[in-house]
Amino acid sequence: MGERARQSVALEPVTDDAAVPGVLHRLLDLLGAPLAGLRPGAEVLIKPNLFQTRPGFHVNTALLAAIARVVAEYGARPVIAERTHAIYEILRDHEAARYARVVSLDDLPLRITGIPGATSLRVPIAVPELVLDCDFFIGVPQLRTHASVVYSNAMKNLVGLLPGYTTRIVHMAGVDESTVDLNLMRPQDLVVCDGTTVIEGNYPMDGRARSVGFLAASRNAVALDVAVGVLAGFDPDSVAYLRDAHQRGMGPLSLQDIDVLGTPLAELAFDMVKAPVEIVAPRAGVHVYAEHACPACSRFVAGAMRALAEELCAWDGEMTVISGPQVQMPPLRGAVVLVGNCLYESRDLGIFIEGCPPRAIQLAAFRYAMGRGVGEHERTQFRVPPRLVSVAR
């Protein structure tokens, strides 16, 4: 698909769960019935955000049931799949399971596959066979702010296609380019965005569920992310993976190049509470040096300082946090935490958190630096230099 091809995004308000099926049908009609070409027996993968069980922090299950029902009515075979077993808890005995097979991607066989044209995930990775073999792919993201990539929606939803350990690989290789690579590997044939509830604030380090009340759909994930981003008060040009996808010809970057169908965007527009971008040390004695950090790692550090502010203020120690390239290392006072791949060569100076940017789970490194206990899995998320391991022993 050429980057200059015009794409359409359909938008409609939704008042409650009972209205969801009707709104979904209107969106599909506006897009020219994208499911009408499904052949009987075709396998249709439906990939929602169902990673967390906390109410409001996952896709509206009424929307999943409505999508699965429409797919089944065409005679196709819908499969709702998401990484982790949370999907079983959320959809157990739910109406959606009457129309679709519900499965965790963690339980499916994998295939080692390369991604032609990848710029970050340039070596073969393990991918569930269902993702590669399905006849039609429907993404169902929930709009969320994001402490590392500004906001997360249709394109980033595909990171959840991979086994858990691959998420770490994605961040080590560069999450923005890796997100685009995954969309290149298996483009979504249809995206239906859940805006009944959005997650705003410092997600995934923190965040709040907010009822908004809209659904959006498109045949192009980039176009949908651009339109919904503008709807929520973001500048799509500030999002690295959207710029990258546009440069690779995968979709538009400007709302002017998108046909918005249904309800005018201005009638549904709202302003989401964004993740923090300004790095503020919560107290004296916590020294942060991140002037040269890339935007993604800078946002990670800003989010970490916000998320851990109460814990850092209750702790009476001293800490030095460094992120980004350093011509000369600053004074190393107290516990030292190094953030991001740029500091790999300096990893023996302190606790090293790899990634570009790191993931929210890697906040455990700061807690470890404060002498707090961390879980066994959390302990695998950061590197402790041998001299500090010896001291701990």
Q: pLDDT (tens digit, 9 = 90+) per residue, 29-64?
A: 999 999 999 999 999 999 999 989 999 999 999 999
Contact 194, 140 (CB under 8 A): yes
The answer to whether residue 295 is domain-embedded is: yes
**CA trace torsion 209, 213, 217, 220 (10° rounding):** -40
Closest by Cα among 223, 193, 180 to 12 = 193
Kindly state whether residues 305 and 251 are assigned to the same domain.
no
Domain-embedded: residue 216: yes
pLDDT over 50 at 339, yes or no:
yes
- If asked whether residues 28 and 167 sit together in one domain, one would say yes
Domain shared by 304 and 350, yes or no: yes
pLDDT band at 4 (very low <50, low <70, confident <90, very high): low
- 241 with 294, same domain? no
- By the 10 Å C-beta count (0-12 exposed, 13-18 middle, 19+ buried), 42 is classed as middle
Q: 340 with 251, same domain?
A: no
**Taking the mean position of all CA atoms in its chain, how far away is CA 247?**
20
Give 81's strand partners: 103
Q: Is the pLDDT confidence value at 326 over 70?
A: yes
The answer, yes or no, to whether residue 86 has pLDDT greater than 60, is yes
Is position 153 within any domain? yes
Q: Are residue 139 and residue 108 in the same domain, yes or no? A: yes
Tell me which of 241, 268, 295 is where a domain ends.
268
Express each pLDDT in 98-125 by its tens digit.
Answer: 999 999 999 999 999 999 999 999 999 9
The structural domain count of the chain equals 2
The reply to whether 157 and 301 lie within a common domain is no
Q: Are residues 95 and 209 in the same domain?
A: yes
pLDDT band at residue 391, thresholds of 50, 70 and 90?
low
Instruction: Report the alpha-carbon distance of residue 199 to residue 147 in Å, rounded.
Output: 12
The answer to the question of residue 181 being in a domain is: yes
Of 219, 236, 268, at which residue does a domain stop? 268
Owning domain of residue 374: 286-392
SS3 state at 304: helix
Please identify, among 236, 268, 300, the residue that sits at the C-terminal boundary of a domain.
268
Nearest-10 crossing angle of helices 61-73, 20-30: 60
Identify whether 93 is part of a domain. Answer: yes
Residue 155 in any domain: the answer is yes
Cβ atoms within 10 Å, residue 390: 9
Q: What is the mean pLDDT of residues 283-307?
A: 95
Q: Assess contact for 227 and 8: CB atoms under 8 A.
A: no
The span from the first CA to the last CA of the chain, in angstroms, equals: 57
Mean pLDDT to the nearest integer, 351-355? 96
Residue 365, CA distances (Å) to 145, 294, 379 in order:
23, 20, 8
What letter represents residue 50's amino acid? L
Residue pLDDT, tens place only, 127-164: 999 999 999 999 999 999 988 899 999 999 999 998 87
- Output the CA angle 16-21-27, nearest 5 degrees: 105
Q: For residue 275, tell me if it sits in a domain.
A: no
Backbone angles phi, psi at 80, to 5 degrees: -95, 120
Give pLDDT, residue 43: 98
Q: Are residues 239 and 388 in the same domain?
A: no
87 and 135 share a domain? yes
| 189 and 108, same domain (yes or no) | yes
Separation between Cα atoms, residue 144 and residue 52, nearest integer Å: 13
Token digits of residue 82 = 């998401």
Per-chain mean pLDDT for the chain? 94
Least confident of 212-216, 285-289, 359-363: 359-363
Q: Confirm whether 273 is domain-assigned.
A: no
CATH assignment at residue 80: 3.40.50
132 and 259 together in one domain = yes
